[in-house]
Amino acid sequence: MPKVSVYNQEGKETGTLELSSRCFGVEVKSELVHEVIVAHQANARTAHANTKTKGEVRGGGKKPWKQKGTGRARHGSSRSPLWIGGGITHGPRAEKNFSLKVNRKVKRKALCMILSDKVVNRRMIVLEKPNFKDTKTKEAATLFANLPLYRETLFVIPESNPMLLRMVKNIPTVKLVTVNTLNVFDAMRYPTILFEKDAVARFEKTYGTV
């Protein structure tokens, strides 16, 4: 079974924790992880650029000139895509949908693969439940400074904690998430993942059936 180091609030290693092989001992398949990452980014994408078609441009209701006898090409509206100031043909539209569908089981599998890779490369550690005297950012910053973390860290807690969120939100190198909001993109992006000890048990309970 995979194991990970456990640290206390003072940054001292207190032992190791055995992890579930179903969640933290999964063989990594890069093509599956890539598929889920691409879908995650696509689903977060929104279309902003929007051009008007011939029917949406103002004006152009009157025929510019009569059909015959002028020697010029025939036109029915000055809002034609052929005219400057006319509608745009095949331009970007705001209603375009970029979303991609990925099965829930595949998403969970990809997340377990990334976490398994973090465990193998010693990029994941576990923290015993901290006990803060003050709800200040300085307290949280001291905690992270004591731990063997890389520059940027994803901190996973078992459930929402407004007090802890308030302490961490002003630390630019740390992002706080719960087990339920942990996603593949964040797990991949942050070089180090710090799990609160109770969060590990909750994660294994939620994802152990993958």
Q: What pLDDT score does 134 carry?
A: 79
The pLDDT assigned to 210 comes to 57
How many helices (H) and strands (E) are present in the chain, helices listed first?
7, 6
Is residue 21 within 8 A of residue 155, CB to CB? The reply is: no
90 and 114 belong to one structural domain? no
Predicted local distance difference test score (pLDDT) of residue 83: 93
Both 119 and 187 in a single domain?
yes
Supply the pLDDT for residue 66.
Answer: 95
**CATH number of 23's domain:** 3.40.1370.10
Which pLDDT score is estimated for 14? 92
Neighbours of 7 (CB within 10 A): 21
Domain that holds residue 183: 3-45+101-207
Please say which residue of 97, 114, 136 terminates a domain. 97
pLDDT along the chain (210 residues), means of 10: 91 92 93 95 92 91 93 94 93 91 94 95 93 86 90 93 91 94 94 95 85
Does 132 lie in the same domain as 67? Answer: no
Hey, is 207 helix, strand or coil?
helix
Q: How many domains does the chain have?
A: 2
Question: Token pair 């992270």 is at which residue?
Answer: 144
Structure tokens at 128: 């015993």
- What size, in residues, is the chain? 210
Do 171 and 89 have their domain in common? no
Predicted local confidence at residue 209, as pLDDT? 67
Could you tell me if 171 and 137 are in contact, meaning their C-beta atoms sit under 8 angstroms apart?
A: yes
To the question of pTM greater than 0.85 for the whole model, the response is: no
3-state secondary structure of 72: coil
Return the pLDDT at 133.
80
Bridge partners (DSSP) of residue 125 are: 194
* Last residue of one domain, picked from the residues 97, 115, 134: 97
Task: Determine contact, residues 158/198, Cβ cutoff 8 Å.
Answer: yes
Say whether both 87 and 126 belong to one domain. no
How far is 169 from 161, CA to CA, in rounded Å? 12
